[in-house]
Amino acid sequence: MNHGFTIWFTGLSGAGKTTISRLVEADLRGRGLPVEVLDGDIVRQNLSQGLGFTKADRDTNILRIAFVSKLLTRNRVVTLVSAISPYRETREMARKEIGHFVEVYVKCPLDTCIARDTKGLYRKALEGAIPYFTGISDPYEEPLEPEIVLHTDQEAPQESAARIFSRLKELGYLL
Amino acid sequence: MNHGFTIWFTGLSGAGKTTISRLVEADLRGRGLPVEVLDGDIVRQNLSQGLGFTKADRDTNILRIAFVSKLLTRNRVVTLVSAISPYRETREMARKEIGHFVEVYVKCPLDTCIARDTKGLYRKALEGAIPYFTGISDPYEEPLEPEIVLHTDQEAPQESAARIFSRLKELGYLL
């Protein structure tokens, strides 16, 4: 292939996006492929400092990630984006911009995410200390036709990663 | 090489950065190399909308370009950055971040840039209609040890491009 592809992990905070993307990253590197990870939090530091979490700011952040993913993808890099990216229309814009796009919906019931509360953010959000918190005080629009849906409340991260690899083969992105 | 390199064009507005980088781009593509161009104006639309031209905002913009250049450069892409980038220290930060870095000082006397006034911006700046305009109401810090200095008031764009290619060979970036 004279291009790479982007695996776009979307889902609630705590659903498992970063954990699974790290597993996928390690496996892809093991295959000798060029890989970059654009993690929502890290990208905010490097590309979007000053932006907040209103719809307009979230959209701007996502479109910046999409711009960088496009540049990497067309230069043969497998790009893993891990970002809540709650708005369907904005994800569709990213898909269109990037072209070779695999949307992975990292699905997990809100109650499970709250129970996990990996970063302690849900407690704060439920106390009202964090405004615009996805799932609590801000919307999450589920993908309608993602390439893959993971059920991270029912499957281990390794299983989720394995399912992604099967799907990538089906889609012709991997041998 | 398992990496690319970044050619960083710095200089006043109207000095010839974009013109020369386009010539270099075409030549590199002709050699079959993967190339991306990060032009200051285009990058501002995609990564830095909302930022202005204070030192802080200019620095933020340049560091975003450097972040993207780093990702491309370490994935074998030859990245051409064309941005006024007036501050020496910020360019040094970009150099350190990116690693494989060729600084091209596109040197042209201010009077010549004003006489050319390609975009009609100098006239406006001299009338006071554009604040923070490099060379008029904002500083430009010349590079102290750039890899190349071009003198665009004395040489044609094709000559400047040819000099860049000689230097890239000297530096071991091209055969």
What CA–CA distance (Å, rounded) separates A77 from B76?
A: 10
The model's confidence at residue B49, banded by pLDDT at 50, 70 and 90, is confident
Could you tell me if residue B47 is inside a domain? yes
The model's confidence at residue A164, banded by pLDDT at 50, 70 and 90, is very high
Could you tell me if residue B65 is inside a domain? yes
Domain residue limits at A15: 5-170
What CA–CA distance (Å, rounded) separates A8 from A81?
A: 5
Owner of token pair 């071991």: B172
Judged by a CB distance cut-off of 8 A, whether residue A30 touches chain B is no
Contact A71, A81 (CB under 8 A): no
Backbone angles phi, psi at A89, to 5 degrees: -60, -35
What is the tens place of the pLDDT at every residue in B70-81?
999 999 999 999
What CA–CA distance (Å, rounded) separates B160 from B35?
A: 19
The model's confidence at residue B50, banded by pLDDT at 50, 70 and 90, is confident
Mean pLDDT of B135-145: 96
CA B13, distance to chain mean position in Å, is: 10
Conformational region of residue A135, where left means phi above 0, alpha means psi within -120 to 50, and beta covers everything else? left
Q: Which residues pair with A102 in a beta bridge?
A: A7
Judged by a CB distance cut-off of 8 A, whether residue A76 touches chain B is yes
What is the tens place of the pLDDT at every residue in B14-23?
999 999 999 9
Owner of token pair 């006397």: B109
The domain that holds A76 is classified in CATH as 3.40.50.300
Could you tell me if residue A73 is inside a domain? yes
What CA–CA distance (Å, rounded) separates A62 from B147?
A: 36
Question: B82 vs chain A: nearest CA distance in angstroms?
Answer: 16
What is the tens place of the pLDDT at every residue in A37-77?
999 888 898 998 889 999 999 999 999 999 999 999 999 99
Q: β-pairing, B101-107 with A148-151?
A: unpaired
Question: A97 vs chain B: nearest CA distance in angstroms?
Answer: 12
User: Residue B41: what pLDDT?
Assistant: 82
User: Residue B2: what pLDDT?
Assistant: 86
DSSP state of B125: H
Could you tell me if residue A65 is inside a domain? yes
What is the tens place of the pLDDT at every residue in A135-146?
999 999 999 999
Contact B60 A47 (CB under 8 A): no
User: Residue A167: what pLDDT?
Assistant: 98
Counting the structural domains of chain B, the total is 1
In the predicted structure, residue A1 carries a pLDDT above the cut 90: no
What is the tens place of the pLDDT at every residue in A100-136?
999 999 999 999 999 999 899 999 999 999 999 999 9
Could you tell me if residue B136 is inside a domain? yes
**C-alpha distances in angstroms, B15 versus A6, A45, B37, B126?**
37, 32, 17, 17
The model's confidence at residue A2, banded by pLDDT at 50, 70 and 90, is confident
Could you tell me if residue A175 is inside a domain? no
Mean pLDDT of A28-38: 97
Judged by a CB distance cut-off of 8 A, whether residue A56 touches chain B is no
User: Residue A64: what pLDDT?
Assistant: 95
What is the tens place of the pLDDT at every residue in B78-130?
999 999 999 999 999 999 999 999 999 999 999 999 999 989 999 999 999 99
Higher pLDDT pick, B2 / A64? A64
| Among chain B residues, CA nearest to A66 | B46
Question: A34 vs chain B: nearest CA distance in angstroms?
Answer: 7
Contact A131, A137 (CB under 8 A): yes
Could you tell me if residue B175 is inside a domain? no
The model's confidence at residue B161, banded by pLDDT at 50, 70 and 90, is very high
**For the CA atoms of chain B, what is the radius of gyration?**
16
